[in-house]
Structure 1
Amino acid sequence: MCKCEKYVKNDVQLPVSTDLKKPRPKKAKHLRVRPPDLPILERSNWLIHLHYIRKDYETCKAIIKEQLHETQGMCEYAVYVQALIMRLEGKIQHSLELFQSCAILNPQSSDNLKQVARSLFLLAKHKAAIEVYNEAARLNQKDWEISHNLGVCYIYTKDFRSAEEQLNLALQLNKHDLTYMMLGKIHLLQGDTEKAIDVYKSAVEFSPENTELLTTLGLLYMQLGKHQKAFEHLGNSLTYHPNNFKAILAAGSMMQTHRDYDVAMNKYRVAAHSVPESPPLWNNIGMCFFRKKKYVAAISCLKRANYLSPFDWKILYNLGLVHLTIMQQYASAFQLLSAAINLQPRMSELYMLLAAKYHKNYYANSLK
């Protein structure tokens, strides 16, 4: 009995874990999935874009030519990039025709119309550009670039009210330094310096490190005689860009006005490294030497300024002043002052200096 029971116990088969014998799943083979074929019209767009942004224009034009041949001229992107390249090469009329073709292929694209208008603007066809920009604005009313360019076109057509409206609209859509600059220019063209200053102050608050805005604001304060504010903004401009020629020249001119000639000369020395052929720079250097009674150096600098800009009446005035007061060469002074009067006939100081010349040598003529 016991043996039997023992036999039965040995005969029982215990359940075996199936996890150990479960076959491992085979690794799936990586199958190469073929990408979907691009439409023939767009097959080479990526390659055209790649060579265009690399500025490899010759290769880009070759690919465009092949693409247009395959698509029978129906590839919009190829025509668009070809037009951009033509514009970069100075072939504005050809680029205009190509952009017009893009507008025909896709009349609902505001970008195509913007490029058509841009080419018209470069051809000085401002009224035609305004019409095309207005058409583009109907397709995309929230594009600041359209409003900005419309404002610029209106400036060239002397419609300052419409220009101001469009530039203000552009600023509402998106603020840009260039839009502020053009809006300030409108007020300056209208002779409203105070409004221009308000615009540039808003621009500086938006972009406090823009040296062009800071310099322009400083120059406007100089015109109004607010030298402290002018010097502050010019100093900020030089802080961000120490070699800013316009700011250096303006700051040196202010120091020269306050008879600080040595500091002004140091400023001009820095400016001469960046723009050595500037007529206003040599004119100011010459007058610094004149005030320091270094007359030979003064005449040399003024003659160089006159050589660089022979039709600048201020340089002619200063040369006439030097010839009259120091060299006492009355004939040369008369020629220089007469030339300055022909260029600026409404400047009373020129006539006063010419009368002083007559007073010194021809007293009777001065009475006439």
Structure 2
Amino acid sequence: MKRIMYREAIASALAEEMRRDEKVFVMGEDVAIIGGVYKATRGLLEEFGPARVRNTPLSELAIAGVATGAAMCGARPVAEIMHIDFVGCGFDIMLNQMSKMCYKTNGRLHVPLVLRTQEGRGHSNGCTQSQSLEALFTHIPGLKVVLPSTPYDAKGLLKTAIRDNNPVIFIEHKGLYQTRGEVPEEEYLIPLGKADVKRYGKDVTFITYSKTVLTALEAAKELEAQGIDAEVLDLRSLVPLDFDAIAESVRKTGRVIITHEACERGGYGAEIAAEIADRLFDELDAPILRVCGANIPVPNATLPEQESAPTVEKLVQAARNICQGGNHNG
């Protein structure tokens, strides 16, 4: 095992897959010479050259369109949209071509591409470069949606995504790039649709993903000192969703807090809550709670930006409230 940064894990996954398969290439704004705005493609140009590490014009429509066409012709592009806030510029391709081509051709054409993008608060970038829009993609049949929280997960999931024959939206959080974690030196893959329990507990379950996993883990530490044993379930991918892992945790704790940085209204947490209510209602000892981003544009000022997202304090208070109702199953 070696301890590396999240962004280094991304670069390592890309390099390994490019060495393994010459059909894999990287494209996007500033991905070549400067290694991407978050340095997640650093070193690739020197090893693989400009034919396989391609800077693109400032056009998300062109990036999405070229990547889709290249994938249909047999390549395996990894295309980067610099910020998830800009996906609207190329959304028609994602909504009507990238996601639908396999279905429209009855399986004759596949679109094996990865669309990497970045989201989230933490850099005071303002309301048009700090959003969390993963729910937009989960609503489109034909797209897989992945949001890793650790360097280990980022590398293993990205390698799997590149080998998948379907389009994968791979969403990285800009606040995670410099976080560090242990990553094996030997090759490994993580299957899409397999959640991971980041902390085991028996009193309440935090269901979450991406950077909010770290917030939930901090909250769980504080709760432990207060006599509350919290479990933290990292979904890792939203499509496909590991509902079996959700069910196992809900049956154990009987209490659920769903937390994510995206706005609460219409966020993916609502889908999770509905699934649990539909299929696991009798396992619950308390109403499902959501602790999510505020339903406002992301503020630019640092403190309001932080307060508009889930915080450790909010999660601790939610867990204390939900655990006041007694023990699971009696």
**TM-score normalised to structure 2 length:** 0.26
More RCO (CA 8 Å, sep 6+): 2
Structure with higher strand content = 2
- Greater C-alpha radius of gyration: 1
Structure with higher helix content = 1
**TM-score normalised to structure 1 length:** 0.24
